[in-house]
Structures are given as structure tokens and as C-alpha cells.
Amino acid sequence: MMDNKAPYVFGHGLLTGRTAVITAAAGTGIGGATARRFLEEGARVVLGDAHERRLTETVAALAGEFGERRVAGRVSDVTDESQIAALYDLAEERHGRLDAVVNNAGLGGTALLTEMTDEQWDKVIDVTLNGTFRCTRAALRRMKAGGHGGVVVNNASVVGWRAQAGQAHYAAAKAGVMALTRCAAVEAAAYRVRVNAVSPSLAMHPHLVKVTTPELLAELTEREAFGRYAEPWEVANVIVFLASGYSSYMTGETVSVSSQHP
């Protein structure tokens, strides 16, 4: 593997004064990296995650670094609409408005289609696609009522475009997220809300290591033009861009965060 990691990009105040909700934001993956990058760019963040211990630890660590007034969290399962509402309520109670939502929650797994059960299929679809739908719907309702516009950024995946054995449920869900993003964007433009998505190929974090074989990780890494995986903060940087004024004329787009080649 080439030793060509990119230097970390520090904040430039791109999100100063904005309030953002980020789901699946605990831990060391894309959600956690996005929370940190939003704070570095001046945002106030409200973090949701289904894992209470990890969420508590993440909120405490970020609050200690960026200040308690700018960081809050609430246990939130994206399969439960009432918990999604409570997460958005927290953002509005603390800061008076909701400017950005990052729908990062997703669930993967590996199973050949001939061996996949209905339960496996349904669970991945419910968290990854239906959860993004529930969170987007709730966000758009509030942003429309608020009258000040807003931004939604969904986390898709290159497998929504590209075939990968054992990933039929996850690929179908992520392709659905892309289609949902396009349709939501058309509807939300009337009230000045933009809806876009990122599509990472391979962003490394501990959970991915746990659910993926070393052989598959090596194969996926080999496909990358840079000869390495992305750091979660590299994906988060593109999410920052889509949440900022620098992407003011973009909506309905899915931006590939990938160096993958055929």
C-alpha cells in the first residue's frame, strides 16, 4: 500500500452559527468524523446514535474540546419515528432552529442472495433506507415550517451504483437513498432546502474491520487509485462542503467520495 495519506484539513468557519443534527454520530466512523469537522467549521451539533454508551462518551469528549453549549446528544434509533422527533426537538430547544441534517445511519452485512433471509433483508432496508426516509421527511417538515431554508446530506455508497457479491440488501438500500435524495431535492427546492448525498467507496473505521474479512478489505483497497482507503474525515470534508454555502447551487446530487477504478 502506498504511504500517501492526505494532510488533515482544518476549519475555515464554513458552518459558523449553524445548527446541525447528525445521526449515527458516535464512535470513530464517518458520523463521528462529521461531528468533529462540523464543530471545527463553527457549527453547533446535536448527535444521535442508538448506542448510548458510545454516544455519551462522544458527546462528553467533544463538549470538553469545543464547549458544552455547542454539543448535545440524544439516544436515537432511526427505525423509531418518535426518537427522531425527540432528536430534532433537542436541536430546536437548544438553538431555536434546524439548519442541517446529516443522515449517516446505516446497517450492512454480507449474505449471498440465495442464502439471505427475509429478516436480514428487512433489517438492512429498514435502517439504511427507511431510516433515511424517516429522518429526511421529519427534517423537511421542520425546515419548511421554519421558513429559513436548510440542508440535508444523506450517506449513500458506491455499491448503490456498482455490484458486489453478498451486498444485495445494502446495495438496494443505498441505491434507494440516492433516488430518495433526488426526489426529495425536487420537492424541497420550493422552500429553499437542498438535499444531496455522498457516496463513499472505502472509508476505514473499526466497525468495518469487524464486519469485513481481511481478504475483502485487501481486494477493495487494491481497487483504489491511491492504493489506500479513505479516512472518515475525508468523507466528512465533502459532507461539510455540501452543508456549506460553497454548494449553494447543488441539489439532488450524489457526490462520489472515491478513488476507485474499474
Q: Catalytic residues, which ones?
A: 170
Tally the C-alpha atoms within 13 A of residue 92's C-alpha that lie toward its C-beta: 13
Largest distance between two CA atoms of the chain: 51
Q: In this structure, which amino acid lies at residue 210?
A: K
| Residue 122: φ, ψ to 5° | -65, -40
Distances (CA, A) of 202 to 159, 160, 162, 178, 234: 10, 13, 13, 18, 11
Q: Rounded to an integer, what distance in angstroms lies between the CA atom of residue 15 and that of residue 239?
A: 11
Q: Rounded to an integer, what distance in angstroms lies between the CA atom of residue 256 and that of residue 251?
A: 14
Contact yes or no for 173/122 (Cβ under 8 A): no
The number of residues in the chain equals 262
Query: Which residues, including other chains, have CB under 8 Å from residue 90's CB and lie 6 or more apart?
Result: 46, 72, 74
Grid cell, residue 1, equals 500500500
Q: Rounded to an integer, what distance in angstroms lies between the CA atom of residue 35 and that of residue 21?
A: 9
Distances (CA, A) of 59 to 25, 76, 77, 84: 9, 14, 17, 18
